[in-house]
Amino acid sequence: MPGKPGIAWRGGTRATSFPGPHGPERKFCPRDDPMSLVKRAVLLVSGERYLVLSITLCQTALVSRLLTPEEVGLSLIGVALVQVIDGMRDFGTTNYIIHDPTASDRSARTAFTVLFGLSLLLAVGLVASAGIWAQAYGQPLLAPYLRVLSLSFLLVPFSGPLMALMRRDFQFAALVAVNVGTCLTYALVLVALALLGFGAMSFAWAAVAAATASVALSLAGRPQPGIYRPCLTGWRTALAIGGCSSATTLLNRAYDLLPIFLLGRAGGADLVGLYGRAQVVSQLPDKLILGSLASVILPMFAADRRDGRCLAPSYLASIGNITVVLWPVALLMALIAQPVVLVLLGPQWLAGVPVVQVLSLASMLSFPAMLTYPVLLASGGLRDTLTASLISLPPSAVAIALAASGGPLAVAATQFVTVPLQVAVALAFIRRRVPFSLGDLAAAVRISALVTVATALPPLAVIALAGQGFALSVPQGIVAGIGGSAAWLAAMLSLDHPVAGHVRETLRPVLLVLRARLRPAR
* Percentage of residues of the chain with pLDDT beyond 90: 33
Task: Name the residue type at position 323.
Answer: T
Select from 242, 149, 166 the least CA-distant residue to 202: 149
Residue 501 clears pLDDT 90, i.e. is over it: no
pLDDT reading at 291 higher than 70: no
Short-list 258, 248, 312, 295, CA closest to 88: 248
Q: Which residues of 290-320 are buried (b: 16+ CB within 10 A; e: fewer)?
A: bbbbbbbbbbbbbbbbeeeeebbebbbebbb
Averaged pLDDT of the chain: 80
Q: Determine the average pLDDT of the residues in 55-77.
A: 89
Angle at 183 between CA 318 and CA 87, to 5 degrees: 65
pLDDT band of residue 391 (cuts 50, 70, 90) is: very high
477 CB-side CA count, 13 A:
18
* pLDDT for residue 22: 37
Model pLDDT, residue 26: 40
Could you report the per-residue pLDDT of 344-373, keeping only the tens digit for each? 898 889 999 999 999 999 999 988 887 887
Return the amino acid letter for 99: H
pLDDT-derived band at 28 (thresholds 50, 70, 90) equals very low
Q: Which of 132-136, 229-233, 414-418 has the lowest mean pLDDT?
A: 229-233
Highest mean pLDDT among 95-104, 303-312, 316-325, 468-477: 468-477
pLDDT of residue 148: 92
Mean pLDDT of 162-187: 84
Nearest to 363 by CA among 331, 404, 400: 331
> Exposed/middle/buried for 506, CB within 10 Å: 0-12, 13-18, 19+?
exposed
Q: Is the pLDDT of residue 169 over 70?
A: yes
Q: Which residue has the higher pLDDT, 443 or 514?
A: 443
Cα separation of 7 and 435, whole Å?
A: 31
pLDDT of residue 108: 75
User: Cβ of 104: how many Cβ atoms within 10 Å?
Assistant: 18
The dihedrals phi and psi of 10, each to the nearest 5 degrees, come to -125, 100
* Cα gap 74→201, rounded to integer Å: 9
Relative to beta strand 6-10, strand 13-20 is antiparallel
Dihedral sign for Cα 155, 158, 161, 165, please. Answer: negative
pLDDT of 15 reads 35
For the cut 60, the answer to whether the pLDDT of residue 312 exceeds it is: yes
Structure confidence by residue, pLDDT tens digits, 419-428: 999 999 999 9
pLDDT at residue 335 greater than cutoff 90:
yes
Q: Specify the range with the lowest mean pLDDT, choosing from 268-282, 284-298, 343-357, 404-418.
A: 284-298
Compute how many other C-beta atoms are within 10 angstroms of the C-beta atom of residue 20: 15
| Mean local confidence (pLDDT), 449-456 | 95
**Lowest-pLDDT range of 19-23, 454-458, 482-486:** 19-23
Kindly state the average pLDDT of the residues 140-169. Answer: 85
Phi, psi of 23 (to 5 degrees): 105, -165
Query: What's residue 168's pLDDT?
Result: 72
Buried b (16+ CB within 10 A) or exposed e, 211-243: bbbbbebbbebbebeebbeebeebeeebbebbe
Gap between the Cα atoms of 41 and 68, Å rounded: 39
266 vs 352, more confident? 352
Question: Whole-angstrom distance between the N-terminal and C-terminal Cα of the chain?
Answer: 65
**pLDDT at position 464 over 80:** yes
What is the rounded (10 degree) CA torsion for 53, 59, 65, 67?
-120
User: DSSP of 408-435, one letter per residue?
Assistant: HHHHHHTHHHHHHHHHHHHHHHHHHHS-
Per-residue pLDDT at 141 exceeds 60: yes
Least confident of 32-36, 116-120, 500-504: 32-36
Averaging pLDDT over each range in 78-92, 272-286, 309-323, 450-464, which range is the top one?
450-464
User: Looking at residue 156, what is its pLDDT?
Assistant: 84
Contacts (Cβ under 8 Å, ≥6 apart) of 275: 259, 260, 263, 352, 355, 408, 411, 412
Strand partners, 13: 10
pLDDT-based confidence at residue 53 (cuts at 50, 70, 90): confident
Residue 485, classified by CB atoms within 10 Å of its CB into exposed (0-12), middle (13-18) or buried (19+), is middle
* pLDDT tops 50 at residue 16: no
DSSP, collapsed to helix, strand or coil, labels residue 25 as: strand
Instruction: Kindly report which listed range (157-166, 221-230, 299-308, 312-321) carries the lowest average pLDDT score.
Output: 299-308
Q: What are phi and psi of 92, to 5 degrees?
A: 70, 15
Which pLDDT band, with edges at 50, 70 and 90, does 502 fall under? Answer: low
- What is the pLDDT, as a whole number, of residue 301? 66
Judged against a pLDDT cut of 90, whether residue 462 lies above it is answered with yes
